[in-house]
């Protein structure tokens, strides 16, 4: 594969981890060409089962969601694949909402289920040129140097 390398965050609630693992296994070749990030438990599972390098943060309930949100705000994450469980109450629900909110604020792609993840990962825009519109809120530093360091 030639083209752009994206920074993809992978997150899944407990009841959705197997779904994310199966999706990532099916898309292993594509994912192997990108930088992967994940919350702790999900990242450990993906790394162990798929043999792909994953930059791991804390587990979601203890701050991993916020860590990924911070990377989104810094301009270092291009796509969030977050298989969340809409039927199971989450004790860290405010963190989940904050993560989804920050992804919307900074205009990054968000896949919340298998169908949206399939459509996004198969898009020619994933590996091709794509200039995401990054909103200018007036007080945001230039992230060019941060992006260069992350690559």
Longest dimension (CA), the chain: 43
Which member of 19, 65, 85, 95 is catalytic? 65
If you ran DSSP here, which 8-state letter would residue 136 be given?
Answer: -
Is 78 one of the catalytic residues? no
Structure tokens at 11: 């997150």
* Angle between helical axes of 64-73 and 93-105 (0-180°, round to 10): 10
- Find all residues with CB under 8 Å of 146, minimum gap 6, and list them: 74, 75, 76
Catalytic residues: 65
């Amino acid at each position: 594969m030639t083209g752009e390398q994206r920074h993809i965050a992978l997150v899944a609630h407990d009841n959705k981890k197997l779904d994310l693992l199966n999706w990532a296994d099916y898309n292993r070749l594509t994912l192997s060409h990108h930088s992967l990030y994940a919350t702790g438990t999900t990242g450990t599972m993906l790394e162990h089962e798929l043999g792909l390098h994953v930059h791991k943060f804390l587990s979601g309930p203890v701050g991993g969601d916020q860590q990924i949100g911070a990377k989104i705000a810094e301009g270092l994450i291009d796509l969030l694949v977050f298989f969340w469980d809409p039927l199971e109450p989450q004790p860290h629900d405010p963190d989940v909402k904050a993560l989804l909110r920050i992804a919307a604020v900074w205009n990054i792609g968000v896949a919340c289920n298998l169908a949206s993840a399939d459509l996004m990962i198969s898009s020619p825009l994933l590996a091709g040129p794509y200039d995401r519109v990054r909103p200018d809120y007036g007080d945001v530093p230039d992230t060019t140097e941060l992006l260069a360091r992350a690559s």
